Structure 1
């Protein structure tokens, strides 16, 4: 009887601990922000201001164990003779685990630095900062942690953090740091602290660098041929690069160039052992410093910030043949040459649009609306992982907390999406094919971009959270008979939080856009 009582108390204690843990580190955190307030007089200051800063977030590999890859397959497999130098004597391989493809990808070097790049905007009493991070993704509680690291004296009204979904960067989500080949849980909390502090520091410095600016907008369509493929039916693309360039008033001196386009940074493939920002590196370098001959172009200087777009579907270049700008060479297999060719082509398209199609920004009002909302989790594995705090900590009766934002920077309107949204939800084209799992018509309508009112619009993916693939519910298809006459299901649902996520995100996005427009009197 005593033993049963002890066991009962132990079980109750375990459930109590799990329940207390299930709310995550910030159970009471919520955002409900609109600034300027609806109805308030919006009087732009004499000079619109912009500031930028960046921080290197590349891990120092000399601080990790070095392993010997006997067969050169870029995996740690002790059964095949691989071994490591245990520098701290803990008997475990302390490595930087690369995220994005399969598990067991220990980094063996650095091809190019990883960055957190921040841009601050200020006008009419509103100050916002946007940061783009060379990372696979960050869950909501990490964003909250970054915000709490900011000095209140900075007077930042809102911070947006968007990740590139880089498949050649360290695991920042805890998904790629587990495996049978090594100790079960090897998540790198030290690197996470470095990354979060670096993002906060970049945001703070960007505010400190605020200075008067003028802005120019541009856009240009690319591909999809030679740039990306949609690997899932229906084939819907957002193939437009949207550009915002900020310069010192009355000059051509660039402060920053923001670019927004959707594609997975995974050109070098799953067998690459080097940390890199993939094609993003060459794109940013090309915009800043220029693209070399043949058929190159000079850069515009300043800092280039690439904010990820719509990558669900999924948008990839893995099976794309990318042409070299010389018009002769072509690259299909995974390689840095292919990544460079893609990045250079994107840079050339961007530079051409800047020089041939830029239009000055006519207004300079800064405004922001932000909203916390609850997301139903239909994926049982992700729901359990959230409940116990392993993935996306913070679980409430089958829901997790997330966030959407809408911002206006003069003629530029920005919508943030907390994951990998399918382009048909934003651009139009959601279908209800025969064979779908749910006998419903499209839920995520109307298209989100059509609801945006800026002369230039950007939709930032993986912003302030990562809820995985957002498959339209009327296209959800894991049970036979399969849609589009297929013999098997398509890729996507297994990496989604569930079929009701995109509907919840769409609804919250519509609401936050309406709040922004109301605040601006539109």
Structure 2
């Protein structure tokens, strides 16, 4: 009997050691020792050069499937079947990110892209790449940077996700089930390679240019619904247009707006870049060049909800139901706002600039138990930079003329609630911490120049960045709600917003 217990205990110890070793391996730092601390002061203004590139990242769908009960979830128990087009005896799916798991792509409506712009002031060569996926981790971004060829001469690269909910999962949370990753490793590697190629191509295509900045701070308000109180939107549409140095032709444009690309909503099974596809299509048709679309402050939750009508600017028709027609009308409205801003804004294009740049990595505590479980199960592969902490990154830069700052840019590693950027953080009764607003002053109050770009989901995707005074997971709930509001479940934790705000304020003051 004693021998039995000794063997039993030995087996238990071995199992614990195996499980512990597996957990430690899965939670390992994927970029050990990586750190960044850039502080680049501007030289005298010089002639600016700009380059653009656009490369497709649309996957090839091996198989298709039949959704028997039209719930957009693949389940053989519901009678769903797949068409084994590659004849390998299994369902090869690209799992769409966002909304819910078990949502395999079933067709392609329009292409997904990585689009890049490179700006060179003679001293600093800055790259911004926007990718039509829901999110990329900081680990992906570091892999991309390590792969950039030295001859591209990139001083600093920013990789943003548009936060598209109609593209394959790149984070691991939306697979066949909650215990299976949705990431196709080969496809993820392909996306990283395409970002490297796009940035390199944009750098190789640098040419003398003039920069012009415009904005419309209110016109897109009717396209957004804030589905969580307090109602604070980031409706501003911000645009940087790059013109050829010696003529009025457009080389390309950067457009930033704060809204979830999920207008097609949860039942859509076609791969698409959602409304950004139409923004880019219409602007490129009217202006020429390459349009790079990036998302701003999308937390809150900023969305074109199915209850939010969108008016088709051509017909005047109000479109309510999620559809490509609705996404088209939304994209056309945004393009029209940008075009009108170009016509009415009196700001002149400048050909000589300099860039002031700050960027640094820092750590955040991971307090979300579901995310911790995802790390332990190997679904989330970002790993801990130190025990219980994640490495992430922020950057800020200004583009200046001889007269001073023209525009400022702030990168945010996730989905920032607009009240942190624009003001309006509240202390609602029922908040878990019962504290006054922490994330003050509003970040845009500290940004220089007339045009203040906030680039969301930049260099990381930490989920929702919820003001700590509004954090609400325990009863009684804020604003008289009967259950906890949506947001915290997809946030790293309650310390995320205070820490990011602190890092941003410090960075902006140094700028």
Using structure 2 for the length normalisation, give the TM-score: 0.93
The answer for the alignment partner of 2:9 in structure 1 is 4
For 1:71 and 1:13, locate their aligned partners in 2 and report how far apart those are by CA, in whole Å.
42
Match of 1:404 among 394, 414, 430: 394
The answer for the alignment partner of 2:255 in structure 1 is 259
For 1:58 and 1:106, locate their aligned partners in 2 and report how far apart those are by CA, in whole Å.
14
| Deviation for aligned residue 1:171 | 0.8
The 3-state SS of whatever aligns with 1:214 is: strand
Q: Does structure 1 residue 56 correspond to structure 2 residue 46?
A: no
Q: Does structure 1 residue 34 correspond to structure 2 residue 21?
A: no
The answer for the alignment partner of 2:403 in structure 1 is none
For 2:482 and 2:71, locate their aligned partners in 1 and report how far apart those are by CA, in whole Å.
33
The 3-state SS of whatever aligns with 1:459 is: strand
| Deviation for aligned residue 1:302 | 0.8
The 3-state SS of whatever aligns with 1:359 is: coil
| Deviation for aligned residue 1:358 | 4.5
CA contact (8 A) 2:181 2:379 kept: no
Cα gap change, 1:423 to 1:184, in 2 (>3 Å)? closer
Q: CA RMSD in A?
A: 1.9
Q: Does structure 1 residue 433 correspond to structure 2 residue 396?
A: no
Cα gap change, 1:320 to 1:225, in 2 (>3 Å)? farther
Matches within 5 A, 1:321-332: 321-326=309-314, 328-332=316-320
The 3-state SS of whatever aligns with 2:429 is: coil
Cα deviation digits, residues 84-120 of structure 1 (max 9, x gap): 2345665431111111111111111111111000000
The answer for the alignment partner of 1:486 in structure 2 is 481
Cα deviation digits, residues 197-242 of structure 1 (max 9, x gap): 0011000101000111101111113445531111111111121111
| Deviation for aligned residue 1:255 | 0.7
For 2:125 and 2:158, locate their aligned partners in 1 and report how far apart those are by CA, in whole Å.
12
The answer for the alignment partner of 1:190 in structure 2 is 186
| Deviation for aligned residue 1:454 | 2.7
Q: Does structure 1 residue 158 correspond to structure 2 residue 153?
A: no
Q: Does structure 1 residue 462 correspond to structure 2 residue 451?
A: no
For 1:67 and 1:328, locate their aligned partners in 2 and report how far apart those are by CA, in whole Å.
37
The 3-state SS of whatever aligns with 2:380 is: coil
Cα gap change, 1:97 to 1:126, in 2 (>3 Å)? same
The answer for the alignment partner of 1:292 in structure 2 is none
Match of 1:127 among 102, 106, 125: 125
Match of 1:239 among 235, 238, 254: 235
CA contact (8 A) 1:121 1:409 kept: no
CA contact (8 A) 1:97 1:106 kept: yes
CA contact (8 A) 2:72 2:266 kept: no
Q: Extract unaligned runs of 5+ from structure 2.
A: 1-5, 401-405
| Deviation for aligned residue 1:11 | 2.3
The answer for the alignment partner of 1:295 in structure 2 is none
CA contact (8 A) 1:24 1:389 kept: no
| Deviation for aligned residue 1:13 | 4.1
The 3-state SS of whatever aligns with 1:360 is: coil
The answer for the alignment partner of 1:513 in structure 2 is 508
For 2:75 and 2:7, locate their aligned partners in 1 and report how far apart those are by CA, in whole Å.
47
Shifted more, 433-442 versus 17-26: the winner is: 17-26
The answer for the alignment partner of 1:109 in structure 2 is 107
The 3-state SS of whatever aligns with 2:222 is: coil
The 3-state SS of whatever aligns with 2:52 is: strand
The 3-state SS of whatever aligns with 2:214 is: strand
CA contact (8 A) 2:258 2:297 kept: yes
Shifted more, 504-513 versus 202-211: the winner is: 504-513
Q: Extract unaligned runs of 5+ from structure 1.
A: 290-298, 518-522
CA contact (8 A) 1:140 1:392 kept: no
Pairs aligned (count) = 498
Using structure 1 for the length normalisation, give the TM-score: 0.91
Cα deviation digits, residues 388-438 of structure 1 (max 9, x gap): 542252223221111001122332211000000000000011111122110
| Deviation for aligned residue 1:17 | 4.0
